[in-house]
């Protein structure tokens, strides 16, 4: 330390030393408070970004679930068509009438189609 600073401390005694320590601590508290404020603001910005990311993830999950349901429906329909062809369904008028009757029975079993949606039956 500089001899002049030591002489200044000696001139004010213990009270001067305590006052200097208090001022130093206050300056450091202001710096810490500023750092905490900046860290808080940064965390709030990151939280907003994470909220956007989670919302996008939620929407992507919803879309993938809808695709899966569509694929399962398509697989069931293809299986049904395969079973109909293997049982001798030729697509002639008699086959169409039989298919329409079967579809009506299945719709009744399922208590009717969903309002506003396509009629898809027997795909479970």
| The model scores a pTM over 0.75 | no
- pLDDT recorded at residue 112: 46
- pLDDT recorded at residue 62: 95
Pair of tokens at residue 14: 């213990």
Domains of the chain, residue spans: 3-109
Give the C-alpha separation, 106 to 99, whole Å: 11
- pLDDT recorded at residue 110: 47
Residue 112, SS3?
coil
Q: What is the pLDDT along the chain (124 residues), one digit of tens a residue?
A: 677 777 776 777 778 778 878 888 999 999 999 999 999 999 999 999 999 999 999 999 999 999 999 999 999 999 998 888 888 776 555 555 555 555 555 544 444 444 444 544 444 4
Pair of tokens at residue 68: 């899966």
Cβ–Cβ < 8 Å for 81, 123: no
- pLDDT recorded at residue 12: 76
3-state helix, strand, coil in the chain (%, to 5): 80, 0, 20
Cβ–Cβ < 8 Å for 77, 123: yes
């Amino acid at each position: 330390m500089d001899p002049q600073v030591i002489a200044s401390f000696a001139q004010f005694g213990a009270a001067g030393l305590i006052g200097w320590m208090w001022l130093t601590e206050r300056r450091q508290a202001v710096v810490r408070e500023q750092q905490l404020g900046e860290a808080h603001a940064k965390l709030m910005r990151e939280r907003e970004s994470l909220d956007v990311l989670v919302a996008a993830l939620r929407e992507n999950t919803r879309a993938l679930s809808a695709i899966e349901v569509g694929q399962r429906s398509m697989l069931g329909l293809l299986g049904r068509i395969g079973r109909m062809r293997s049982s001798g369904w030729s697509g002639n008028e008699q086959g169409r009438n039989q298919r329409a009757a079967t579809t009506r029975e299945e719709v009744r079993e399922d208590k009717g189609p969903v309002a506003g949606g396509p009629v898809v039956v027997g795909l479970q």
